[in-house]
Structure 1
Amino acid sequence: MPMSQPDLEAALREGFPDAEIEVHDLAGDGDHYKARIVSAAFQGLPRVRQHQLVYAALKGKMGGELHALALETSAPA
């Protein structure tokens, strides 16, 4: 079963409560999203580690309920 956009946003907000988060459904199928996350949690971390933190916040839903997630992560300027 696909993951709804509100459920994805809620999971990301739970994992990154301080973050500015934008989620876009790329295909209209609940399986392909793009997320832009700006969080202090990413400060000083390489991009790979930032993405690992996002996957951890999704608690195993990536690859199951959520098929594809294009990520744009950064720390606040």
Structure 2
Amino acid sequence: MPISLPDLESAIRAAIPVTHLEIIDQSSGCGENYAIVVVSEAFAGKTTLARHRFINELLKNEIAQMHAFSQKTLTPKQWEDQLAKGSA
């Protein structure tokens, strides 16, 4: 069963305070390949691995139904720095 973008968004927003969230369905609408960018203060002080493990655990049921899933997790400061560099 395909995962919907609103389901992913709801799960993420219910778990952590989100400053910015992008969810891209890279599967042309079939819901089997998503890329996300999550910006949250909840990631402050955590390694990239810890952030990814957190998101993987949060979305484990949804990810289990996907073919592919990628994520980028940033603090608000890291996001601002990327925007300033033009690489967001």
- The TM-score normalised by the length of structure 1 is 0.85
Which structure is richer in relative contact order (CA contacts within 8 A, separation 6 or more)?
1
Percent identity over the alignment is: 34
What is the SS of the residue equivalent to 2:63? coil
Runs ≥4 in structure 1, deviation > 3 angstroms? none
In the aligned structure 2, how far is the partner of 1:37 from the partner of 1:10? 13
Aligned match of 1:72: 72
CA RMSD between the two structures: 1.4
Structure 2, unpaired ranges of 5+: 78-88
Q: Partner amino acid for 2:56?
A: Y
In structure 2, give the amino acid aligned to 1:67.
H
Paired position in structure 2 for 1:42:
43
* Structure with more helix by fraction: 2
SS in 2 for 1:21: strand
Alignment of 1:1-77 (within 5 A): 1-28=1-28, 29-63=30-64, 65-77=65-77
Gap regions ≥5 residues in structure 1: none
**Which sits farther off after the overlay, 54-63 or 28-37?**
54-63
Between structure 1 and structure 2, the one with the greater Rg is 2
Deviations 1:36-75 (A, max 9, x none): 0011111111111001111222253322x23322101011
Q: How many residues align?
A: 76
